[in-house]
Amino acid sequence: MNEDTLELAQDVIIPLAIFIPLFREITDITNDIIELYKTAHTNKRICGVLLDRVQATEVAVRNLTLREKEKSEFFTGPNNVIIRKLVSESINFNQKKVDGDINYIKEDVVSVKKDVAEIKNQFILMVKCFEEFAIIKERAKNIADASLNILDFTPTSETRGKIRKWVRKSDDHDVAFKEMDESLLKNLNREVGLLKMLQESRDVIQFFGLVEDKHHSTLYLVTEWAQHGNLREYYKKQKLDQSSKIQIALDIVRGLNFLEAYQILHHDVRSANIMIGTYGNAKIANFGMSRGFIDTSRNIKSTSNTIRYMAPEKIRGMTYDSRCEVFSFGMLLWEIAEMKLPFSEYKHEFDIRNKILEDPIQLSFKSDMPIKWKKLILKATSSDPDKRPQFKKILAKLKDLNQTPITSTDQNGSSQKKAYIKNIMSIEDAVKQHNKMDGDKAKAWESFEFYSQLGIFIHFNRLPPCSKEQRLNQAAKLFKEAADDGDITISQYYYAVCLYHGLGVEKDLQSAYGYFCKAAHKGDANSMFNVGNMYYEGVGVEKNVEEGIHWIKMAAYNDLASAVKLCEEKGIPL
């Protein structure tokens, strides 16, 4: 500002009134800041500093307002210039103070953000702990629900590695005690959970529970006893004809198809994990490595035994899926046909790996199995995963093969079957033993079941002449006796039919449901279908459509035509 301008400003009186709106605005702002200070919960100190400065300004403004008339000569141009300069300097000084305070606030904000992030992480950790606790609780429940009393079993001297044969005292039923060491305990909950879930399939090893020894030092997994051990042990001791091979393959693929319906991958399909029962039927076992479709696939360590069945893409480190499982089953089909391990001429893992990675894989056939069987193996073991058939298609192919007349058979037959037949009584002897007070009723019912499976039944003409009603009464009585005392699955089904329709016994839908359930849980497809229908329609049990669909689907997965047809009619997906 030059001298002329300053001189001109001396003669100009600036009325204070023009500052009044500004003063009022300052007053309003001050009041707002006071209210903010009163309600502030954080940064109280900074708000207090700001309040002090604003209140000081407000006091000065009020003083100027009160002294407007008595100090009118003060508000001249030169003084105004001086005041402006003073205000400017004050503002600059205060700006530095404010900048410092703002920087302090910024530091506080950074600190608060850090605290919030830490709280968030702690919250996430807490949620994770709750989830882990829920998992542990579920595991504990699984194990608690499966607990058995070792005093209910009697040990035998028969062992297979870590598996010992025991006998259940209540019904003289043979069971297997599998000792769970530290490595197996890691997968215990998964195996127990899966075995409990899969009890509806006759093609999966039956699980009974867990038991500790008397000293609580060893835990055992209790399952059904496989009379003939695993598949490899079986075919090394027992020469298999073409029909037996197809039947074993059917049992296995039914089980794998059942697992797929539950979206479960076994992860270790090989002959060592296929158990053979008394009648030569195959059952899938060892679910310690199993996973759901959406679960993370673990890197299972390969050995010279496991790699023989491993899909090439899995060897290369890709994700395990159902197509890998199909490949393993294809190699198992080859083993069943040739009755030896795949690439048995190679002992080292590196050599076996190279053979599997060949495109196409080189498998030689020397058995007399049908050409369709061999083509199925080549498709299942294709190097291209997308070209491998699904399990339901493999099942259909094997069923077709099973119904095709055998052109090349083992003339000597199966000695195992012959040995079993020698232990079966004639119908007449079985009836006599059944009617004796001290007769061998268990052997009699075993013989009845054997003949019923062959389509041979005791004719009514073997019974004294009587009316149809009396015959129905007698039949119902025999079915009930076999169902309760002999625990015969087919008798449980037929007695349930009698109860359902009131044949030879008073109609009782609730009891019919109970007997159908007993047979269904032991793998009888007809009983599964009836349980499903009763749930679906609410007959003899509280209506539960979801549970009904579940059992109907289980019957369909066990190849019951009426169940498959109903699923198609009701639009139930399979």
Which residue in this structure is represented by tokens 């007070």? Answer: 437
Total residue count of the chain as it appears in this document: 574
Residue 63 corresponds to which tokens in the numbers above? 């003083």
CA–CA distance, 381 with 355 (Å, rounded to integer): 12
Which residue in this structure is represented by tokens 């020397």? Answer: 366
Q: What is the pLDDT of residues 110-165, one digit of tens each?
A: 777 887 788 877 777 777 666 655 554 555 455 545 578 889 999 999 998 889 99
Domain 231-403: which CATH number of 1.10.510.10, 1.10.3720.10, 2.40.30.20, 3.30.70.3270: 1.10.510.10
Residue 76, beta-bridge partner list: 13
CA–CA distance, 60 with 54 (Å, rounded to integer): 10
Local structure of residue 347 (DSSP, 8 states): -
Which ranges constitute the DSSP H helices of 436-508?
441-453, 468-484, 489-501
- 521 or 322, which is more confident? 322
The top-scoring range by mean pLDDT among 146-150, 280-284, 427-431 is 280-284
Whole-number pLDDT of residue 21: 64
CA–CA distance, 552 with 558 (Å, rounded to integer): 10
The reported pTM is 0.52
Q: Taking residues 348-366, report their average pLDDT.
A: 90
Whole-number pLDDT of residue 274: 96
Of 67-76, 104-113, 200-209, 528-537, where does mean pLDDT reach its minimum?
67-76
Whole-number pLDDT of residue 45: 64
Answer whether residue 74 shows pLDDT above 80.
no
The top-scoring range by mean pLDDT among 5-19, 78-92, 258-272 is 258-272
- 383 or 485, which is more confident? 383
Whole-number pLDDT of residue 114: 82
Q: Show Cβ contacts of residue 233 under 8 Å, excluding neighbours closer than 6 positions.
A: 276
| Position 416 confidence tier, pLDDT thresholds 50, 70, 90 | very low
Which residue in this structure is represented by tokens 């299972």? Answer: 300
Angle between helices 509-521 and 525-537 (to 10 degrees): 140
Answer whether residue 439 shows pLDDT above 50.
yes
Helix, strand, coil percentages, rounded to 5, for the chain = 60, 10, 30
What strand order describes the sheet that includes 173-179?
Answer: 153-160, 163-168, 173-179, 219-224, 207-212
Angle at 191 between CA 188 and CA 194, to 5 degrees: 145
Q: Taking residues 369-388, report their average pLDDT.
A: 94
Q: What is the pLDDT of residues 171-211, one digit of tens each?
A: 888 999 988 776 556 666 666 767 777 777 788 988 888 88
Of 5-9, 179-183, 271-275, 379-383, where does mean pLDDT reach its minimum?
5-9
Look up residue 389 and give its amino acid: P
Give the C-alpha distances (Å, rounded to integers) separating 431 from 443, 465, 478: 11, 17, 11
Using a CB cutoff of 8 Å and minimum separation of 24, what contacts does 138-143 make?
139/189, 142/189, 142/192, 142/193, 142/196, 143/188, 143/189, 143/192, 143/210
Residue 514 corresponds to which tokens in the numbers above? 């109970």
| Position 556 confidence tier, pLDDT thresholds 50, 70, 90 | confident
Q: Taking residues 445-467, report their average pLDDT.
A: 50
- 73 or 59, which is more confident? 59
Q: Which of 316, 318, 350, 314 is nearest to 331 (CA)?
A: 314
Residue 356 corresponds to which tokens in the numbers above? 């599997």
Give the C-alpha distances (Å, rounded to integers) separating 413 from 243, 333, 403: 10, 21, 18
The residues carrying an active-site annotation are 268
Q: What's the maximum distance between 2 C-alpha atoms anywhere in the chain?
A: 147
Of 120-129, 249-258, 518-527, where does mean pLDDT reach its minimum?
120-129
| Position 42 confidence tier, pLDDT thresholds 50, 70, 90 | low
Q: Taking residues 205-225, report their average pLDDT.
A: 86
CATH topology of domain 150-224: Phosphorylase Kinase; domain 1 (3.30.200)
Give the C-alpha distances (Å, rounded to integers) separating 343 from 266, 335, 351, 566: 22, 10, 9, 45
Local structure of residue 76 (DSSP, 8 states): B
CA–CA distance, 180 with 143 (Å, rounded to integer): 13
Residue 165: left if φ>0, alpha if ψ -120 to 50, beta else—which one? beta
Average pLDDT, the chain: 77
* Residue 313: strand, helix, or coil: helix
Of 27-31, 37-41, 282-286, 298-302, where does mean pLDDT reach its minimum?
298-302
Instruction: Provide φ and ψ at 569, rounded to 5°.
Output: -65, -40
CA–CA distance, 282 with 280 (Å, rounded to integer): 7
Of 217-231, 351-365, 462-476, where does mean pLDDT reach its minimum?
462-476
Domain 459-570: which CATH number of 2.30.42.10, 3.40.50.880, 1.25.40.10, 3.30.360.10: 1.25.40.10
Local structure of residue 13 (DSSP, 8 states): B
Domain boundaries, the chain: 3-118, 150-224, 231-403, 459-570
**DSSP per-residue letters across 249-261:** HHHHHHHHHHHHH
Whole-number pLDDT of residue 560: 84
Answer whether residue 237 shows pLDDT above 80.
yes
Residue 134 burial (10 A CB sphere; 0-12, 13-18, 19+): exposed
Q: Taking residues 525-529, report their average pLDDT.
A: 90
Whole-number pLDDT of residue 22: 60
Q: Which of 165, 309, 310 is nearest to 232 (CA)?
A: 309
Which residue in this structure is represented by tokens 């508000």? Answer: 75
Answer whether residue 414 shows pLDDT above 60.
no
Angle at 459 between CA 458 and CA 460, to 5 degrees: 120
Angle at 326 between CA 390 and CA 261, to 5 degrees: 55
